[in-house]
Structure 1
Amino acid sequence: MTTGWNETVRLDAVRKEYGRGAESVVALGGVSLAFPRGGFTAVMGPSGSGKSTFLHCAAGLDRPTSGSVWLDGQDLAKLSETELTKLRRDRVGFVFQAFNLLPALTVQQNVVLPLQLARKRVDKRLVADMLAHVGLADRRKHLPGQLSGGQQQRVAIARALVTRPAVVFADEPTGALDTRTAADVLGLLRQSVSGGLTVVMVTHDPVAAAHADRVVFLADGQVADEVQRPSAEAVAERMTHLGAWAAQRRVAVGGA
């Protein structure tokens, strides 16, 4: 199976186990999900639900035990480590809770770093447009230490977007930000989606998740639920039921 023309990422029956035999731990138990082009999906779940493992497998940072992952039309299982590294570099952007900026480089230098590592020509106009897009055109010569947390996350978003990726994976991108700054950062991701980018965001925050087109809920390594056009209230309500869903499933599996 391949990804459809309107899908950027697809997981088919993805299973990930750590360890072997009686000591093995199933982090993902056969997850199947598709992420459309120009879509914004939030992924939520309690601690230990498999969110981080899902993100690592979907982004090609880790290989699943079984099942398949397609990213931008390519079957990741058929790629060598070198080919996988190139695909991530060229077609995937990452935004994390920790901004991961290099403190000795200016804002502009941090943003163009992915292009330089890929030995690509730096289009100064593109970089200028990207800095303007995130509201930092007048801070391009500043060092990260001279910026607020929200401004640093804006730099991280510009760095993730500068290679014009097919998908951006965001892992708790607003976790270190205050409410107003978080809303600004989420608004930037929302704007990027309207330009055709796919965004997949792992978050624990119902308010952050409400910026997405849909929310997928994980529990015990399984897709437990999904909400379209979410509100923060609807997301919070579903989250309160996930523990009970997981407990019922464990009883059902144990009694099978």
Structure 2
Amino acid sequence: MTTGWHEAADAVRLEAVRKEYGKGVVALDGVSIAFPRGGFTAVMGPSGSGKSTFLHCAAGLDRPTSGRVVLDGQDLDGKNETYLTKLRRDRVGFVFQAFNLLPALTVEQNVVLPLQLAGKRPDKRLVARILTHVGLDGRRKHLPGQLSGGQQQRVAIARALITSPAVLFADEPTGALDTRTAAEVLGLLRDSVRSSGQTVIMVTHDPVAASFADDVVFLADGRIAGRLARPTAEAVAERLTHLGAWGRVAA
């Protein structure tokens, strides 16, 4: 068993995590992996490989059937829903394929919403700095409906960063964007890792998106099926092809 010091060095650690749904449906089958602070990791795998379940368990949105998840040094095992809700609110950021912005609120109001929900007063300088970081300083009074899809996703990223989370989880963040806009959004996530030491874990099916990450973790049949450092889109696509074939043979 790892010591507390090593766990503190990791943003997220999963130890022998298993997740079953109903009778005999195993989504995760003994997954053990650690994500260091200040890294950008993509999680990939064939359809049904357990990617979404992996993200939900790692982020404390779902409880493993067995095993252990340590998030920002906090062991989630046995914690009640109130504790987990507060931990997610304070220490976790989320970006989804759907932007999930409130249409009646301005860009700035959407961004500071997590702080207000937590009963905290927004720091105007921090808000300005994050809006500048995501390239929306001149749009702070706009409503989401006045923005492009890429700009709306930038608002979602700013909202996820405003609480200075220990880890930002992104689930297919570029799925609704065109290729050029997707590259801009992924570059922004990568810059957040480089400039402020943010930890990003991104689930994606897109080899090009994965190539923006520092490394890629592959899942197949609910198990870790390898890692790839300094990925290129071509290397990721090739590995995915083999994973798909391996999954069909195993099935």
TM-score, length of structure 1 as denominator length:
0.94
Tell me whether 1:63 sits opposite 2:63 in the alignment: yes
Tell me whether 1:9 sits opposite 2:12 in the alignment: yes
**CA contact 1:93–1:161 (8 Å) conserved in 2:** yes
Higher mean alpha-carbon deviation, 181-190 vs 147-156, is at 181-190
Secondary structure, aligned partner of 2:189:
helix
Tell me how far apart the structure 1 counterparts of residues 246 and 32 of structure 2 sit (CA, whole Å): 18
The alpha carbon displacement at 1:225 in A equals 1.6
1:15-42 per-position Cα deviation (integer Å, ceiling 9, x unaligned): 000013xxx2000001111100000000
The alpha carbon displacement at 1:46 in A equals 1.0
The alpha carbon displacement at 1:131 in A equals 0.5
Secondary structure, aligned partner of 2:46:
coil
Q: Which aligned pairs between 1:211-226 and structure 2 lie closer than 5 A?
A: 211-226=212-227
Higher mean alpha-carbon deviation, 173-182 vs 239-248, is at 239-248
The alpha carbon displacement at 1:6 in A equals 2.1
Tell me how far apart the structure 2 counterparts of residues 155 and 175 of structure 1 sit (CA, whole Å): 16
Counterpart position of 2:235: 234
The alpha carbon displacement at 1:247 in A equals 3.5
The runs of at least 4 aligned residues of structure 1 exceeding 4 Å deviation read none
Secondary structure, aligned partner of 1:93:
strand
Counterpart position of 1:172: 172
Counterpart position of 1:150: 150
Counterpart position of 2:206: 205
Counterpart position of 1:37: 37
Tell me how far apart the structure 2 counterparts of residues 223 and 209 of structure 1 sit (CA, whole Å): 16
Tell me how far apart the structure 1 counterparts of residues 69 and 248 of structure 2 sit (CA, whole Å): 28
Count of paired positions: 247
Tell me how far apart the structure 1 counterparts of residues 78 and 91 of structure 2 sit (CA, whole Å): 17
1:24-68 per-position Cα deviation (integer Å, ceiling 9, x unaligned): 200000111110000000000111000000000000000000000
Give % identity: 79
Tell me how far apart the structure 1 counterparts of residues 45 and 123 of structure 2 sit (CA, whole Å): 40
Q: Which aligned pairs between 1:124-139 and structure 2 lie closer than 5 A?
A: 124-139=124-139
The alpha carbon displacement at 1:248 in A equals 4.1
The alpha carbon displacement at 1:135 in A equals 0.5
Counterpart position of 1:254: none
Tell me how far apart the structure 2 counterparts of residues 121 and 112 of structure 1 sit (CA, whole Å): 9
TM-score, length of structure 2 as denominator length:
0.96
**CA contact 1:128–1:137 (8 Å) conserved in 2:** yes
**CA contact 2:7–2:70 (8 Å) conserved in 1:** no
Root mean square deviation, CA, Å: 1.0
Tell me how far apart the structure 1 counterparts of residues 211 and 244 of structure 2 sit (CA, whole Å): 21
Tell me how far apart the structure 1 counterparts of residues 189 and 76 of structure 2 sit (CA, whole Å): 25
Tell me how far apart the structure 1 counterparts of residues 15 and 198 of structure 2 sit (CA, whole Å): 22
Secondary structure, aligned partner of 2:183:
helix
Letter of the structure 2 residue corresponding to residue 247 of structure 1? R
**CA contact 1:172–1:203 (8 Å) conserved in 2:** yes
| Structure 2, unpaired ranges of 5+ | none
Tell me how far apart the structure 2 counterparts of residues 168 and 196 of structure 1 sit (CA, whole Å): 11
Secondary structure, aligned partner of 1:11:
strand
Tell me how far apart the structure 1 counterparts of residues 105 and 26 of structure 2 sit (CA, whole Å): 41
The alpha carbon displacement at 1:249 in A equals 3.7
Letter of the structure 2 residue corresponding to residue 8 of structure 1? A
The alpha carbon displacement at 1:245 in A equals 1.9
Tell me how far apart the structure 1 counterparts of residues 162 and 156 of structure 2 sit (CA, whole Å): 10
**CA contact 1:10–1:71 (8 Å) conserved in 2:** yes
**CA contact 1:224–1:245 (8 Å) conserved in 2:** no
Tell me how far apart the structure 2 counterparts of residues 97 and 180 of structure 1 sit (CA, whole Å): 16
